[in-house]
Amino acid sequence: MSIPPLTPVLTDNWDAERSWTLDSYAERGGYDALDVAFGMAPDEVVAAVKDAGLRGRGGAGFPTGMKWGFIPQDPSAPGGDKPKYLVVNADESEPGTCKDIPLMMASPHTLVEGVILASYAIRAHHAFIYVRGEVLHVVRRLQRAVQEAYLAGHLGRDIHGSGYDLDLVVHAGAGAYICGEETALLDSLEGRRGQPRLRPPFPAVAGLYASPTVINNVESIASVPAIIRNGADWFASLGTEKSKGFVIYSLSGHVRNPGQYEAPLGITLRELIDLAGGIREGHRLKFWTPGGSSTPLLTEEHLDVPLDYESVGGAGSMLGTRALQIFDETVSVVRCVLRWTEFYKHESCGKCTPCREGTWWLVQTLARLDAGQGEEGDIEKLLDLCDNILGRSFCALGDGATSPITSAIRYFRDEFEAAMHTPTSVSFPPAASTAWSDAAATAGVGA
Amino acid sequence: MTLSAETLDELRQITARYPQARSGLLPMLHLVQSAEGRITPEGIEACAEILDITPAEVSGVATFYTMYKRRLVGDYHVGVCTNTLCAVMGGDEIFAALKEHLGIGNDETTDDGVVSLEHVECNAACDYAPVVMVNWEFVDNQTPESARRLVDDLRSGAEVRSTRGPAICTWRQAERVLAGFPDDRADEGPAAGPASLAGLRVARERGWEAPAAGGTDAEDESHGAATDTDPDDAAAVAADEQADTSRAESEAKLDEGKHEAQEDDA
């Protein structure tokens, strides 16, 4: 039996009538996994997720079951006598990443069911979904799903007669990319400015309220019900040897049919672009991000790299969040890199000097180049600045800021050199890249 | 303006949702915005008093997050995504068109107080680029023309619907929902937009499904063959390109495998 290129599991109910409601979810076996889990010891649930090989879907790819296993359960161990917490990172804001938002919009109950299973496994009685504030309707759907789950007895006291209690709070953030970083998220959830913490101690021992805490991405948690329902072997039968299971790949930009494509880990961008109807008519791929703007750019030569954790790492980038932003030959890489850098400058929380000051200098240098007024030595200056930022801050934001720059210079150095004298808007007129540029060209009038 | 007794009561209710009251601060500030139209000194004082922290501490939080506004915004706060992908797909042009059409700049409000404009960062809707947000509802796949029409409709009082949500409420009503007081409109709008369903549609057309549970002892290695493929020459070596995973693993090792590693959404 061969496995098809696309394997809808998480996305399978998104086209169902009123898929966000409990009725629709329950009709398809929703919340059945709870009774399976309650028939197991919490450690067995942890073991099942370990055996499945589920790895974090929020970017880092750390094994989820192992993370759960770090929570101290022995009361005499450090942190072991404190309450445990589960926090779902639903602060999706890495540029290009757009998978968790549609998941919570279409099927919030998948996430809620996963939260209950994960909380049971780590023995938490309080869980939080930290969702970014800028997605109002997603917040509504989550609030409703949690309310429905309480009314149906899936949350609250003595869930399904198991004796297990769990409270779940939907918590809306207030606009800060840095809160996607797990320790900044914890500070934010404690009602503070969202700034990363020094590790150790790690959240598994001293997280929320200095208590043992698991922080998992939405898609990681949403993958758990299927694992419990169908078994670890089933999950592990999908994907590659080290990158198991199915994930959502998000295609955006210059492809014919951008959107969400759920497939086993290991599909290639060439296959995905083909499924998405190809690059937009009359154009060709120039560069792309495998997992958001913090993952080094790749080019046409990487079309056949299997999109799993190891292979993308081997190609000099990172799988990240599988945010595949596709740019064709009409796009100036210098313009793109400047815009991403402006983003990191804006979002730097200001805690660490290399990131706070470095991103500022990067923007100044790149802005000059974008305007065609680069100065002798600017490219070297960019690389030197990146070298002084990378690995020199508390969290990965600063590291991420350097990724697009160093990779763009590696693959497109001539474009940076041309920007010494020619503005990018002249070399690459922005009008040629817009979503309506082709319509304008064929119609002969402005769209 | 002073906060009503009802609002003060609701601010206290928010703190009760959490094991520690201060966790309520972000939703409390959303509620202040709903009641006052912005973060006011009175609102800061009220939060500080309820949480028994200093106004300076509350202020420090309120100034950190971009959704908190010190000045009044319009009834409809329009955000144009100008992060890279949306910018390239036309977001820059849309933002320029709206500034010109409304006669206001970034972070400014029209004289009638109805529409304010801001360029926003990635709002997680890249498959619908270029994206415009109104009071944090999605208005997908915009053009300069459709965006001008959108703000004209908002200013004329016509009902405007989100492409993936309900009829758009006012900014203050939206802030109330974010504070955790639902408005009972979760059932409006579709489950998903067309791009969200793009892959599912292909799978349905071709009859592709995930394997059924149980019957999968086929030990399918067809996808498993491709593990450690072509390490891309010298490119693979640079320290800055270490897979995040390996960093995560080494962090874990640092702590003798006892602790977890970071998993940023960032």
**Structurally, how many domains does chain A consist of?**
3
Q: What percent of chain A stands above pLDDT 90?
A: 97
CATH number of the domain enclosing B51: 1.10.10.1590
Checking if the pLDDT of B225 tops 50, the result is no
Tell me which residue of A415, A430, A405, A176 sits closest to A293, measured CA to CA. A405
Residue A159 lies in a domain: yes
Which helix (H) or strand (E) is B92 found in, with range?
A: helix B92-102
Asked if the Cβ–Cβ distance from A313 to B246 is below 8 Å, we say: yes
Residue A6 lies in a domain: no
pLDDT for residue A443 = 53
On whether both A302 and A391 belong to a single domain, the answer is: no
On whether both A63 and A99 belong to a single domain, the answer is: yes
A 388-427 residues with CB < 8 A to B: 390-391, 395-397, 399-400, 402-403, 406, 410
Residue B97 lies in a domain: yes
On whether both B88 and B154 belong to a single domain, the answer is: yes
Residue B33 lies in a domain: yes
Q: What pLDDT digit, counting tens, does each position of A121-132 carry?
A: 999 999 999 999
> CA-to-CA distance for A303 and A288, rounded, in angstroms?
10
**Structurally, how many domains does chain B consist of?**
2
Residue A28 lies in a domain: yes
Residue in A105, A181, A316 nearest the CB of B164: A105
Asked if the Cβ–Cβ distance from B210 to A246 is below 8 Å, we say: yes
Rounded to a whole number of angstroms, the distance between the first and last alpha carbons of chain B is 39
Residue A14 with chain B: CB contacts under 8 Å: 191-192, 196-197, 200
Residue A336 with chain B: CB contacts under 8 Å: 84, 88
On whether both B55 and B105 belong to a single domain, the answer is: no
On whether both B56 and B93 belong to a single domain, the answer is: no
pLDDT for residue B232 = 41
Q: Is the Cβ–Cβ distance between A290 and A27 less than 8 Å? A: no
Asked if the Cβ–Cβ distance from B202 to A204 is below 8 Å, we say: no
Calculate how close chain A gets to B9, using CA atoms only, in Å. Answer: 19
CATH number of the domain enclosing B146: 3.40.30.10
Q: Which residue is closest to B91 within chain A, CA to CA?
A: A434
pLDDT for residue B214 = 76
Residue B66 with chain A: CB contacts under 8 Å: 174-176
CATH number of the domain enclosing A291: 3.10.20.600
- Does residue A155 or residue B230 have the better pLDDT? A155
Strand partners, A89: A130, A217
Residue in A203, A242, A339 nearest the CB of B87: A339
pLDDT for residue B220 = 42
Cis-peptide into B41, omega within 30 deg:
no
Domain of A78, in residue numbers: 22-236
pLDDT for residue B2 = 84
Checking if the pLDDT of B248 tops 50, the result is no
Round the average pLDDT of chain B to a whole number and report it.
86
Strands (E) across A284-425 are located at 285-289, 298-299, 323-328
On whether both A288 and A341 belong to a single domain, the answer is: no
Checking if the pLDDT of B257 tops 50, the result is no
On whether both A271 and A152 belong to a single domain, the answer is: no
On whether both B129 and B50 belong to a single domain, the answer is: no
Residue found by looking up tokens 């906060």 in the block: B3
pLDDT for residue A438 = 76
On whether both A46 and A170 belong to a single domain, the answer is: yes
Q: Is the Cβ–Cβ distance between A346 and B82 less than 8 Å? A: no
Residue in B67, B197, B248 nearest the CB of A61: B248
B255 φψ region: left (φ > 0), alpha (ψ -120 to 50), beta (else): alpha
Calculate how close chain A gets to B144, using CA atoms only, in Å. Answer: 9
Question: Is residue B215 classed exposed, middle or buried when 0-12, 13-18 and 19+ CB atoms within 10 A define those classes?
Answer: exposed
Q: Is the Cβ–Cβ distance between A95 and B121 less than 8 Å? A: yes
Checking if the pLDDT of B259 tops 90, the result is no
Residue B25 with chain A: CB contacts under 8 Å: 191-192
CATH number of the domain enclosing A182: 3.40.50.11540
Strand B132-134 and strand B76-81: the pairing is antiparallel
Residue in B124, B222, B229 nearest the CB of A98: B124
On whether both A338 and A410 belong to a single domain, the answer is: yes
pLDDT for residue B253 = 42
pLDDT for residue A2 = 87
Q: What is the pLDDT along chain A (447 residues), one digit of tens a residue?
A: 589 999 999 999 999 999 999 999 999 999 999 999 999 999 999 999 999 999 999 999 999 999 999 999 999 999 999 999 999 999 999 999 999 999 999 999 999 999 999 999 999 999 999 999 999 999 999 999 999 999 999 999 999 999 999 999 999 999 999 999 999 999 999 999 999 999 999 999 999 999 999 999 999 999 999 999 999 999 999 999 999 999 999 999 999 999 999 999 999 999 999 999 999 999 999 999 999 999 999 999 999 999 999 999 999 999 999 999 999 999 999 999 999 999 999 999 999 999 999 999 999 999 999 999 999 999 999 999 999 999 999 999 999 999 999 999 999 999 999 999 999 999 999 999 999 997 655 554 433
Residue A297 lies in a domain: yes
On whether both A348 and A292 belong to a single domain, the answer is: no
Domain of B164, in residue numbers: 76-170
Residue A278 lies in a domain: yes
B 152-191 residues with CB < 8 A to A: 162, 164-166, 174, 177-180, 182-183, 185-187, 189, 191
On whether both A320 and A413 belong to a single domain, the answer is: no
pLDDT for residue B245 = 39
Strand B108-109 and strand A124-131: the pairing is unpaired
Q: Is the Cβ–Cβ distance between A13 and A28 less than 8 Å? A: yes
Average pLDDT (B114-127) is 98
Residue among A28, A49, A109, A137 with most chain B CBs within 10 A, to mutate: A137
Residue A191 with chain B: CB contacts under 8 Å: 22-26, 51, 61
Q: Which residue is closest to A147 within chain B, CA to CA?
A: B182
Q: What pLDDT digit, counting tens, does each position of B42-52 carry?
A: 999 999 999 99
Cβ-based neighbours of B197, under 8 Å, separated by 6 or more: A11, A14, A15, A259, A260
pLDDT for residue B215 = 55
For residue A167, the tally of other CB atoms under 10 A from its CB is: 17
> CA-to-CA distance for B2 and A30, rounded, in angstroms?
47
On whether both A268 and A372 belong to a single domain, the answer is: no
Residue A12 lies in a domain: no
Question: The complex's ipTM?
Answer: 0.96
On whether both A301 and A409 belong to a single domain, the answer is: no
